[in-house]
Amino acid sequence: LSVPTCLCLVRRCAALAAPASLSIACLSFAGLSFAEDRPAKERTVPSGIGTDTEAPHFRVYTGLGKPATLDDIVVALGKSDVALIGEAHDDPVAHQIQLYLLVRADQQEKAAPGSKRNVILSLEQFETDVQNVVSEYVSGTVRHADFMMDARPWGNYEQDYSPLVEYAKFVNMRVLAANAPRRYVSAAGDRGMQALQGELHRTCQAFLPPLPLPEVSVDYKAHFKWAHMELPTAPVATTDGTSGGGCPYIGLKANTESLLDPIILWDATMAHSISRQLDGATLVVQICGSFHSEFGLGISEFLRHYS
């Protein structure tokens, strides 16, 4: 398998140079207003959206700061194997852009002449050990209530991520639960990555990339320090269906060096999950926090290891 072409979409502007081993087209946005009065499966792409560089709620730029459009992103999607769409988890405009791009990417691939690629929606917001539950829901096997109980969705799932999953369900698109289970992330935060390489390794190896993980670059560590380890709050649903509040990765504190191993585990697991889907006939659209897609680092860095 050749090294995949990776399109990185980040919330902030950044002038990035693509590593020689991986073609990365980086664009950023600052927001989109999209009709919410109909369920995702009945939505269509509004005419005219995607061509305006002066849209009221967002701007699009290339990695070098040149003004661009959503249509430019859609064209780039058609030339990419992976699209990393970085977000602030509580940004409603970003969530609408994600839905728009997912719909456009799916429509573009279906309209392409000759052999058509499959589009896969990959989510940071679900963990690898609930993949069966996610797949069962998207296939229509289990009820929504059971899915919500067993898949451990974030507390803002219904508002912010459900439209993506419901669209995928409607068009029979696969949905990938890409992230590391939080119990292993917490263990890495408490005792370092070595906690996963002893006795625990026997139980966690089915849900994580091969251990030990590849060493991260100096640039990766510098980015970690630059970002000040400020992770957006993303509450999770409790077993009774209500919001649990707080950070979804219980026991981890921002602005501490102990957060580096958990972040590495997130990035490595998502990259490994994505890499297992790449067969030359697939476009993976990954939704993740902006840290994980910035500067050609994060998930991109680990994709170069696993591809």
Higher pLDDT, 28 or 76: 76
Give the pLDDT band (50/70/90) at residue 110.
very high
pLDDT at 65: 85
Higher pLDDT, 212 or 200: 212
**Mean pLDDT, residues 225-232:** 63
- pTM across the whole model: 0.81
Phi/psi for 263 (5° steps) reads -65, -40
pLDDT, tens only, 250-263: 445 555 667 889 99
Cross-strand partners of 118: 282
Note whether 255 and 147 are within 8 A (CB): no
The strand pair at 6-10 and 118-127 is best described as unpaired
**SS3 category, 48:** coil
Q: Which of 302, 284, 297 is nearest to 119 (CA)?
A: 284
pLDDT at 11: 55
pLDDT, tens only, 137-165: 999 999 999 999 999 999 999 999 999 99
Note whether 136 and 150 are within 8 A (CB): no
Q: Residue 18: pLDDT above 80?
A: no
**SS3 category, 24:** strand
Q: Residue 246: pLDDT above 50?
A: no
pLDDT, tens only, 60-80: 888 888 888 899 999 999 999
pLDDT at 89: 87
Of the listed ranges 83-92, 231-240, 276-285, the least confidently predicted one is: 231-240
> Cα-Cα-Cα-Cα dihedral of 286, 287, 289, 294, to 10°?
40
CA pair distance 288, 150, nearest whole angstrom: 21
Phi/psi for 231 (5° steps) reads -85, 130
Cross-strand partners of 176: 122
pLDDT at 10: 61
Q: List Cα–Cα distances, 32 to 77, 105, 177, in angstroms.
A: 18, 17, 26
pLDDT at 306: 92
pLDDT at 23: 33
